[in-house]
Structure formats: structure tokens, C-alpha cells
């Protein structure tokens, strides 16, 4: 006679396989991945723009400091 825990685990695995291999589940999971990738790229682009803005403010106007010397990033 099989152990009751083994039977429950087998039933759970079959149910999990049924849900994970469902077309609707795969569609929503794929869409969520694409949306999260887009959000991450959007956030990174905003951080890069903010970083460039901060560096421009620190160096004066563009690459020329207020004293008139050319500012080079090393």
C-alpha cells in the first residue's frame, strides 16, 4: 500500500504540471516577462538621464567649467 504522503505529492505534481503547461498561464507569464523587461529598461534609461544631468550640473555648462578651463573626465 503506497504511503499517503507520496500519493498526495504525486497528485500535487500532476496538478502543478497541468497549471504550468496551460496555454493561458504561459501567455500571461510571457506577457509579464516582456512588461517587466520594458519597465526595467525604462528605469535604467531614466537613471542614465539623471546621472548625465547631475554630471552636467557639476561640471558647469557642458564640458567647460565656470573658470573657462576644459573639464576632462579621467
| Buried b or exposed e, range 26-64, using 16+ CB within 10 angstroms | eeeeeeeeeeeeeeeeeeeeeeeeeeeeeeeeeeeeeee
Distance, in Å, from the CA atom of 65 to the CA atom of 56, rounded to the nearest integer, reads: 10
pLDDT 10s digit of each residue in the chain, 74 long? 557 888 888 999 999 999 888 999 999 999 999 999 999 999 999 999 999 998 888 876 555 555 555 555 55
Q: Are 60 and 66 spatial neighbours (Cβ–Cβ below 8 Å)?
A: yes
The pLDDT value recorded for residue 66 is 52
The pLDDT value recorded for residue 59 is 79
Report the predicted TM-score, pTM, of the whole model to 2 decimal places. Answer: 0.57
Amino acid at each position: 500500500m503506497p504511503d499517503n504522503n507520496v500519493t498526495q505529492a504525486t497528485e500535487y505534481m500532476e496538478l502543478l504540471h497541468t497549471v504550468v503547461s496551460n496555454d493561458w498561464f504561459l501567455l500571461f507569464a510571457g506577457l509579464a516577462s516582456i512588461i517587466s523587461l520594458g519597465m526595467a529598461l525604462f528605469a535604467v534609461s531614466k537613471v542614465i538621464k539623471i546621472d548625465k544631468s547631475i554630471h552636467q550640473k557639476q561640471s558647469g555648462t557642458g564640458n567647460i567649467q565656470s573658470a573657462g578651463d576644459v573639464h576632462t573626465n579621467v
